[in-house]
Structure 1
Amino acid sequence: MTRESVTTAMRRALAIADRGPVTGVNPRVGCVILSPAGDLLAEGWHRGAGTPHAEVAALSALANPADAVGATAVVSLEPCNHHGRTGPCSEALIAAGIAEVVYSVDDPGEHSGGGAERLRSAGVEVTGGVLAAEGGAFLRVWLTAERAERPFVTLKWASSLDGRAAAADGTSQWITGTAARHHVHERRAASDAIIVGTGTVLADDPSLTARGEAGELTAHQPVPVVIGERAVPANARIRQHPQPLVAVGHHDLAAAMRQLFDSGIRHAFVEGGPTLASAFVAAGLVDEYLVYLAPTLLGGPRLSIGEIGVGTLADARRLRIDSVEQLGDDLVVIARPIPPHTHDTTPQTHPADARHERTT
């Protein structure tokens, strides 16, 4: 088996993994099975919770199950080694007679990891780390959540070019244009949960649904989460959301994120006002920044971000720009914190009561 053929197969495994659902507790995984001569025998990917994992799907796609004997399985993630809703992929590969397993990224799960060791103990040749950078980038959201045992957090805000979330009188609907707002709904639909503070709920009465260009609900709806001690009104629009409301009756963000992780949330989309946004930043809980910039100037005090614990330039929260895209007249900037995280990660406890850019 040549390195080139294995690399090509791994790129194929990553490509078909992308067909799996972007939301949910499970990672997107692809598997390609090669003959000893390097020919493609079968492929499969994970289609969602409760369905066969990629390795089992690929084995099931073989024209003749006996073809697995002596073959190589190329997988985008280390085969799992635990009994969940399906059996361990490591055991399925061993039982099928696979002779070699090549994977891209180690499974960091406390219960699901260890597949490589199990395979080696059964005499299977195992190679990890093939296209690890590409595999890690593809699984960044899921890997971050699993390693930190909290959801991957995308923080979104919209502002004028001078960083204001609203005019001096509080008006903010709409700072950005239609294309930017459609983009927000696409990102909501790709998340497991959408988070706001009680201040946003009481001031704006948002629905927090993901909607298409015609206003229709998308197939997947993020779970609505409200953080704050004040009660959500019985007649609030958020209570009509297709998903049940999760009301977090405190301001301990670290505890709230662990609660969401334990409930199966792996990607959280944080909206709302500057107070909640600033609390997430100050707590060191933001993995991705999604900032929409409108070509307008507002001036005044209503900044998109408030106090985040930076007293001097040396303490600034440094970011890396991943992309900049024009959406109509607006820009969307996607950035991430530059590792390592050396700032204090103590959760902030002040109320999330502010809002400026209206959330619907």
Structure 2
Amino acid sequence: MGATPAETAAMRRALQIAATPGVPLGPNPRVGCVLLAEDGSEVAEGFHRGAGAPHAEVAALTEAGDDARGTTAVVTLEPCNHTGRTGPCVEALVTAGVRRVVFAQADLNPVAAGGADALRAAGIEVEGGVLAEEAAQVNRAWTFAVEHGRPFVTWKFATTLDGRSAAADGTSRWISSEPARQDTHRLRAECDVVLVGTGTVEVDDPLLTVRDDWDRPVRHQPLRAVMGLRDIAADRRVLNNHAETVHLRTREPAEALRELFERDRQHVWLEGGPTLAAAFLAAGLVDEVVAYVAPSLLGAGANAVGDLGITTVSDQLRLRIRQAAVIGTGADANVRLTLGRTP
């Protein structure tokens, strides 16, 4: 029968609350749920607040109490049909007496799939695919990871106008401006892994944490991953207790991503140097590029990316610009380019 106007409006609200700021990312998708009475009015709503917390459907059902009986549950992801840290949402919906379920995105995770069929078997009306593309964008990294069996990779770098990521003497702090660095932390916070190579750790000694505009660490930190065969010196800051750190003893990008996927990680923020970036690009494992371009020139120094084996213009790796924005003002202005692979 399709979704009613009230159900579609409720789905937009569910998508909005699914993306509530501050919800930690990974390993679970962001999900929102709105319960509607038969007249289309809202009874309750809820969203998933992170791993181990009640799922969105359960949060909404708890808020509604006995008023949940006979309602329509509008949820951004197909209700799960498995027991993990929490019980199956299908069982909670059936027990609460929900009459109808409208969901957006089908759950492609084989562990949790099958919710729609289980609901129908219990006599509940089910309508799927409502605003599915919008729901997939809310969970773009999770969706990609489930579909491809590896994390989504965003490569971030800062460069001068002439493509230099460091000066001839090796110094690289700071090519980007303070506003650009603050912007980087906001985007870094949307990932669940920050990945660099052992060379970057040895030379730059980065923290690899997410910090706020006052340089204070935020509560929820992504996993810090260091890739490479050499040992990490014990005094490196990446080994402090500000966030969890893993050493991936490999030089193969695909192997590193496999290990991270096995750790339930869906979005890698790649901040390594030009050699590591070239390895991921050559392997076809960069899905998005975020480049901060400073209005400056160095004339010499390290390139933003290492040798890709490209010897002629016709073979150049082309990217599609998805967004361009000026970050900061005046002398602190940088241009942020967000690019994706061409189809």
With normalisation by structure 1, the TM-score equals 0.88
Q: After the TM superposition, which residues 280-291 of structure 1 pair with which residues of structure 2 at under 5 Å, given as runs?
A: 280-291=280-291
The CA distance in 2 between the partners of 1:215 and 1:127, in whole Å, is 46
User: Does the aligned pair in 2 maintain the 1:176–1:292 contact within 8 Å?
Assistant: yes
Question: 1:82-116, CA deviations, whole angstroms, 9 ceiling, x for partnerless residues?
Answer: 11011111121122222211111111101011111
| Amino acid across the alignment from 2:39 | A
The CA distance in 1 between the partners of 2:324 and 2:48, in whole Å, is 31
| Amino acid across the alignment from 1:12 | R
- CA distance 1:108–1:308, change in 2 (3 Å): farther
Question: 1:234-284, CA deviations, whole angstroms, 9 ceiling, x for partnerless residues?
Answer: 111211142232111111221211211222222221102111111111222
CA positional deviation for 1:34 = 0.8
Question: 1:310-352, CA deviations, whole angstroms, 9 ceiling, x for partnerless residues?
Answer: 455555444332221111210111122234xxxxxxxxxxxxx
Q: After the TM superposition, which residues 218-229 of structure 1 pair with which residues of structure 2 at under 5 Å, given as runs?
A: 218-229=218-229
Bigger CA drift: 38-47 or 148-157?
A: 148-157
Classify the secondary structure of the residue corresponding to 1:81.
coil
The CA distance in 2 between the partners of 1:60 and 1:244, in whole Å, is 33
1:343 equivalent in structure 2 = none
CA positional deviation for 1:309 = 5.0
1:6 equivalent in structure 2 = 7
1:208 equivalent in structure 2 = 208
Of 312, 331, 336, the residue aligned with 1:332 is: 336
Q: How many residues align?
A: 337
| Amino acid across the alignment from 1:264 | D
The CA distance in 1 between the partners of 2:123 and 2:317, in whole Å, is 48
- CA distance 1:250–1:133, change in 2 (3 Å): same
2:193 matched to 1:187?
no
User: Does the aligned pair in 2 maintain the 1:224–1:241 contact within 8 Å?
Assistant: no
| Amino acid across the alignment from 1:80 | C
2:126 matched to 1:126?
yes
The CA distance in 1 between the partners of 2:10 and 2:179, in whole Å, is 37
The CA distance in 2 between the partners of 1:197 and 1:96, in whole Å, is 50
1:27 equivalent in structure 2 = 29
2:75 equivalent in structure 1 = 75
The CA distance in 1 between the partners of 2:315 and 2:109, in whole Å, is 33
Question: 1:216-246, CA deviations, whole angstroms, 9 ceiling, x for partnerless residues?
Answer: 2121222211111111011112111422321
| Amino acid across the alignment from 1:57 | A
Root mean square deviation of aligned Cα: 1.9
1:40 equivalent in structure 2 = 42
Could you list the runs of 5+ residues in structure 1 that have no partner in the other structure?
Answer: 340-360
Runs of 4+ deviating beyond 6 Å: none
Could you list the runs of 5+ residues in structure 2 that have no partner in the other structure?
Answer: none
With normalisation by structure 2, the TM-score equals 0.92
Q: After the TM superposition, which residues 1-360 of structure 1 pair with which residues of structure 2 at under 5 Å, given as runs?
A: 3-19=4-20, 21-62=23-64, 64-65=65-66, 67-300=67-300, 302-310=302-310, 312=312, 315-328=315-328, 329-339=333-343
The CA distance in 2 between the partners of 1:12 and 1:293, in whole Å, is 36
The CA distance in 1 between the partners of 2:313 and 2:96, in whole Å, is 59
User: Does the aligned pair in 2 maintain the 1:24–1:266 contact within 8 Å?
Assistant: yes
1:345 equivalent in structure 2 = none
Question: 1:27-65, CA deviations, whole angstroms, 9 ceiling, x for partnerless residues?
Answer: 110001111221111111111111110011111111x42
- CA distance 1:202–1:71, change in 2 (3 Å): same
User: Does the aligned pair in 1 maintain the 2:319–2:341 contact within 8 Å?
Assistant: yes
The CA distance in 2 between the partners of 1:309 and 1:49, in whole Å, is 42
